[in-house]
Amino acid sequence: MSRTRRESKTYPINVRELRVLEVSDVTPRMRRIVIGGDQLGAFTTPDGIAVPPLRNEGFDDHVKVIVPDAGQPRAVPPRQVEGHLDWSGASAAKDYTPRDWDPRTGRLTLDFVKHDGGVASAWSLSAEVGDPVHIAGPKSSALLPADVDRLLVGGDETALPAIGRLLQEWPAGVGGQVFVEVADAAEQQDLPVPDGVTLTWLHRRGVAAGHSTVLADAVTAMPWPDGSVYCWFAGEAMSLKPIRRYLKERGVPADCLEVSGYWRRTQERPEVTQLVRLLSLTPQIALRTAIREGLIGRLEKEPADPATLAEELGLNETALRALARALVAEDVLAADEADPAVNAGGVLSLGPVGQVMTEEYAEVTDPRAQYLDLSVASVTAALRGQHGPRPQVPQDLLTQDAAWATPSLVQHHAWDYPMATVIGSAAAAVAAQLHSDVPALLVSTNGRPAPGGVVVACWWLEQFTDEEALAALSDLAAQCRPAGATAIVAERLRETDEQVHDHDAELDLQLLAAYGSGLRSADEVESLVTRAGFTIRDRQELGWDMRSWELTTDQPA
């Protein structure tokens, strides 16, 4: 469990065969099923394994409900082994928080949000009294927070079982604010409200679940309370990101902050999800490289700035920053709020994923752990100030990338030149766009600049190290000067004033490993072009973190 102000307990995981005792609807969209049976108590399996009684001591514990897969008449439970379960051949298992557990009467209450496409929701809608049902867990519990003045709690309907249970077991003498997001007034439940606690229901008013901002809006608008505040939020993962960010900005300490994504609004088919996971290697490589080079272990001891980390670990600072950005985007590391893009001197620390990894999965942070891949060697080389073999990027991928920005590039410039010479990795795609949109313009992808013409370079510098980029730009300036030609350079940028995004961070690290470049900031590109002898005449934002510069070799007036 994470190190929070909640005492944690762990138990061996066991599977139990129970029966449905009651079925009812709490609201039009919430189905309640009460289950029970002798196996909620201690019992011995036919194999002679002693199973202890169910323990459910935390308000947000979860059990796995084993439900039939599509086409299965009955669910196939996992096999109980001493201390753990064998899940091979078992049916689907979905996590649910018990709304109530009464060990005296042997009744475990589960609430299911009704929705399309979920096997557990489908089972709940067809379940009848007397039906068999298997559950596994809980395998751990976190008790109520200690040494806090107030609780700040919120979530959508998927968090309602935990929130309802918390209100039922609220710690004495602690005040609090609870926000619950539901579809409409019909989904409000009759919940206990302890003294000193305010419960606010928030209605989405027709906005689809997972797409509303009402919860984040309410949290950010409330007056911040005095004293120590423990924050607990759960619901749709993307909707919670602004809340997590806001609470960090408020200075809520890590041991008082729990924000859990219970579901994601985009549901892919399992095979598509698996394929995407297998193809997305960059985050895995970045994490394994950080472990191998000692970055995770160092930050587990205490936060530090990139310069200090680079010096202590013997790594290249520029490459270390790129690696850190990729890990910040995945919540493995956390960036300083004053330096969200890891661009200046801000301090790096372990993020929520990094904390879970070091606390619950310490074995994977062993630097000896091997995760060998050709790209790992390239990232490691980049951290040593080198780069691996330059890959040949397929032309169709370059064409796809160019399709995003080339129309904007064409629209933002006056093409009153006798001829355009297009260079760079996306030259063919850019030339085709110019042919289509500016038919009067002669376009070539070969040769030197024409007198009075223009040279267009897109996605060119990102395949060069700084030294190589400066040399290439200097050579281009030398060609443009006698011809009186203009140069238009368009590049993808690393934004330095916003939160790191996972796609951008991955691209940054990939370019660094492949070419020794990475995504450059606007200031870094402008430094290169001016050092090469160009004067910047104009700048244009092209969208999608891309910018173009109109360059001349004329000296400024």
pLDDT over threshold 60, residue 271: no
Place of tokens 């980049």: 382
Asked which of 224-228, 361-365, 421-425, 446-450 is least confident by mean pLDDT, the reply is: 361-365
Residues 6+ apart with CB under 8 A from 518: 318, 319, 322, 462, 494, 508, 509, 511, 512
CA dist., res. 233 & res. 252, Å (int): 13
Question: Sorting pLDDT into bands at 50, 70 and 90, what band is 498?
Answer: low
The residue among 384, 333, 348, 330 whose CA lies nearest residue 513 is: 384
DSSP type of residue 552: E
| pLDDT (0 to 100) of residue 395 | 53
Which CA distances in Å does 534 have to 181, 239, 447, 488? Answer: 56, 45, 20, 11
Cis previous bond, 138, omega within 30: yes
Beta bridge partners of 536: 551
- How would you classify the pairing of strands 333-334 and 257-263? unpaired
Place of tokens 């229901």: 201
Mean residue pLDDT across the chain: 86
Distance CA(304)–CA(321), nearest Å, equals: 12
Are 50 and 41 spatial neighbours (Cβ–Cβ below 8 Å)?
no
Q: Look up residue 276 and give its two tokens.
A: 């995407």
Closest CA to 425 of 471, 378, 472, 387: 472
What is the CATH code of the structural domain delimited by 6-141? 2.40.30.10
Ramachandran category for residue 141: left, alpha or beta (phi over 0 → left; psi -120 to 50 → alpha): beta
pLDDT, tens digit (0-9, with 9 covering 90-100), for 222-249:
999 999 999 999 999 889 989 998 998 9
Which pLDDT score is estimated for 427?
86
- pLDDT value for 367: 47
Instruction: Using alpha carbons, list the distances in angstroms from residue 85 to 18, 89, 138, 172.
Output: 17, 12, 13, 38
Distance CA 146, CA 9 (A): 15
Supply the DSSP symbol for 493.
B
Q: What are phi and psi of 102, to 5 degrees?
A: -120, 95
Separation of alpha carbons 209 and 269, rounded Å: 19
* Token digits of residue 498: 């916003």
Most confident of 46-50, 265-269, 474-478: 474-478
**Using one digit for the tens of pLDDT, what is the confidence trace for 298-327?**
998 899 999 999 999 999 999 999 999 999
Annotated domain spans of the chain: 6-141, 147-267, 277-383, 395-552
Position 1 confidence tier, pLDDT thresholds 50, 70, 90: very low
CA–CA distance, 64 with 68 (Å, rounded to integer)? 13
pLDDT above 70 coverage of the chain, percent = 86
Report yes or no: 488 and 455 within 8 Å, Cβ to Cβ. yes
The pLDDT confidence band at residue 374, using thresholds 50, 70 and 90, is: very low
pLDDT given at position 289: 87
The class that CATH gives domain 277-383 is mainly alpha
Stated length of the chain:
557
Question: What totals of helices (H) and strands (E) does the chain contain, helices first?
Answer: 16, 26
Q: pLDDT grade, residue 447 (50/70/90)?
A: confident
Query: Do the domains 147-267 and 395-552 sit in the same CATH topology, yes or no?
Result: yes
CATH class of the domain at 395-552: alpha beta
Instruction: Summarize the confidence of residues 493-519 as an average pLDDT.
Output: 73
CB contact set of 370 (below 8 Å; sequence gap of 6+) = none
Q: What angle do CA 436, 441, 447 make, to 5 degrees?
A: 105
CATH code reported for the domain at 147-267:
3.40.50.80
Residue 182 has pLDDT above 70, yes or no: yes
Token pair recorded at residue 105: 């009467």
Please state the three-class secondary structure of 287-348 as a single string: HHHHHHCCHHHHHHHCCECHHHHHHHHCCCHHHHHHHHHHHHHCCCEECCCCCCCCCCCCCE
368 band by pLDDT with thresholds 50, 70 and 90: very low
Q: Give pLDDT tens digits for 327-366.
A: 998 889 999 888 888 987 789 999 888 887 776 555 555 4
Using one digit for the tens of pLDDT, what is the confidence trace for 110-137? 999 998 777 888 899 999 999 999 999 9
What is the token pair recorded at 298?
A: 């160092």
Identify the weakest region by mean pLDDT among 66-75, 397-406, 486-495.
397-406
